[in-house]
Amino acid sequence: MKSFFKHLFATVLGLFVFSFLMVCFVVFLVSVLMLFEKGPQMPEKAVLTLDLSIPISDKPARRSLQDVVQEGALGDNIGETITLRTVLDSIESASNDDRIVGIYLTGQVPNAGYYSGWAALKEVRESLARFQESGKPIIAFESAYDEANYFVASLADRLYMNPFGTLEFNGLATQIMFFKNAFDKYGIDVQVTRVGKYKSAVEPYILNKMSDENREQIEKYLNDIADVYLEAIASSRNVDLKRLHVLMSDEGYFRAETGVMEGLLDKSVYFDDVLTELRELTGTRPGEELKNVISIATYRKAITPERHGSKNQIAVIYAEGEIVEGPDENEVGSDTLAKLLRKARNSENVKAVVLRVNSPGGSVTAIDVIQRETRLLKQQKPLVVSMGTVAASGGYWISAYADEIIAWPNTITGSIGVWGMLPNVGRLLDGVGISVDVVRTAEKADMTSIFRSKTEEELAVIQRLVDFFYNEFLTKVCEGRNLDREVLEGIAQGRVWSGVEAHRLGLVDRLGGLYDAVDAAAGRAGLGEDYSLVQYQKKRGFAEEILKTLGLTPQSSQVEGFKSLENLKKQIALLNDPKGVYARLPYDLVPR
């Protein structure tokens, strides 16, 4: 027995020593790599490339370990995103940078949730329009265009498409899938509670098609977004707006030749023709590999050291994704965002806060935790909300107490309403011979069970909860926005509005983007131009993630300069409100 424990101790000690040496090796490797890491070098006569196929996010997104490993092994940029601030800052800097001689636009805008949404694309487009004032050209080329990437590319000085490509110009649409017949077929019943005739999140489970109210609101905000789209193209392409309406209605898809004839494109060319122009811009000789082409992300890294910041800070905090209870860095975790708001409130250097909201809402409990922090913050320093592609329902709830709310015309907002959904799979279990029995100490002890339908009395209890939360939602918006209760009740009811309509109705203060919100915050804090931006939500670098996984506390000197790695934990369930009550948009309303 003594010999056994001796060998066991030796084995454990050996494993400990091995683990310790591995940790030391990793830390040493990280330090050596950092020592030899060199920042990107800026060439002269460079063309800045904006690849629209890379999703544009508000806050820095994180990628999984598998994505990072695959990127390193295969060179695939799996899960890559670029932040809106990176794009905007780079374009602004490029307009005054003599080393940048033009911008090249390429890539198809991905359908990636709320990334690269219409409001973000509008903001990028406005930034590119300001770049044009420098006199430097913007060249755009794609084999085909849909509405999203044509919206951005249409302002290019030279807009090209492959001769065999197609230009999609058939309007915007959003599709909703309805499950009632399938639920009936498989024995799944759904009981719902809601307030607001436009609060249609539950409709796919209880109807076979849209209600009249839902169709009305969707048609209204889709047409508003389409108007923004068409007016922008009419202006940049110098095409009559009425003609664009006719083309959209009668044609829908154009060959390159027709697009040129209608003024929607400049030329029908192949990529080698575009390469010739890029060679001329960058000073690349014919036959040589194209040089001096730099991506937005690389350019941002190259210019970042040149920036100097003021001690007066404006904190930019992002609420992007579903609002869920607890800590969550991928979605809008209530504990995570509340902590960031408290950090900004308690920081002596932070003089104002911009809350960028790109969220359809979510858990009512989580939403109110966040709003509590916005109210406390507003008592001490200015708070300005910048609305992205979607800031509706719970996304609007957390915005209501801001000193100022700024949205784009094509932002999706409003949806002031509350709903609850109670599934019942009892008939499904009956059909396969499974039964469920229960023992309870009180009549309503199993009220949240998914194995039986709720009684009228139980439904009344839940409806009272929903009514209470809706009434609180209205009260908070009235107080935060200084709106008359009767007026608000007329524009609430769960109805979704475009940014332009929300501005008309008083739900937002003015139209604009992220940096308009920064300027407003600086003005309210009396900072003038003497401020710097601070961003708490950052990508964890490769070295930082390794050290964190090993249980070590990473130092900034060890991690700077490496590519980011997404948080390794799995995404928690999004619908996690303990009462099952939500202030959330009906669907993922990002029309394409």
Alpha-carbon torsion (280, 282, 285, 289), positive or negative: negative
| Residue 542 confidence (pLDDT) | 52
3-state secondary structure of 51: strand
Catalytic residue set:
199, 393
Provide DSSP, 517-562.
HHHHHHHHTT-TT--EEEE---PPBHHHHHHHHTT----HHHHTTS
pTM of full prediction above 0.75: yes
| Whole-number Cα distances in Å, 228 to 130, 379, 498 | 18, 36, 10
CA distance 408 to 389: 8
| Whole-number Cα distances in Å, 85 to 91, 223, 487 | 10, 28, 36
| Residue 40 confidence (pLDDT) | 62
| Residue 234 confidence (pLDDT) | 96
Amino acid occupying residue 180: K
CA distance 235 to 575: 43
| Residue 198 confidence (pLDDT) | 85
CA distance 59 to 67: 19
CA distance 369 to 478: 19
Residue (of 9, 87, 75) closest to 49 by Cα position:
87
| Residue 37 confidence (pLDDT) | 44
Could you report the average pLDDT of every consecutive run of 10 residues in the chain (592 residues)? 53 54 50 47 87 93 54 53 94 94 94 86 96 96 94 96 94 90 89 82 89 92 94 96 93 91 96 92 86 91 67 95 92 95 96 96 94 97 97 96 97 91 85 88 86 88 89 95 94 94 97 96 95 84 51 44 36 49 58 60
- Dig out the tokens for 205 from the structure: 């489970």
CA distance 391 to 411: 7
Provide DSSP, 11-35.
HHHHHHHHHHHHHHHHHHHHHHHHH
CA distance 254 to 233: 16
CA distance 426 to 307: 62
| Residue 73 confidence (pLDDT) | 46
Residue (of 398, 391, 402, 346) closest to 370 by Cα position:
398
| Whole-number Cα distances in Å, 555 to 9, 21, 514, 540, 552 | 34, 19, 31, 12, 9
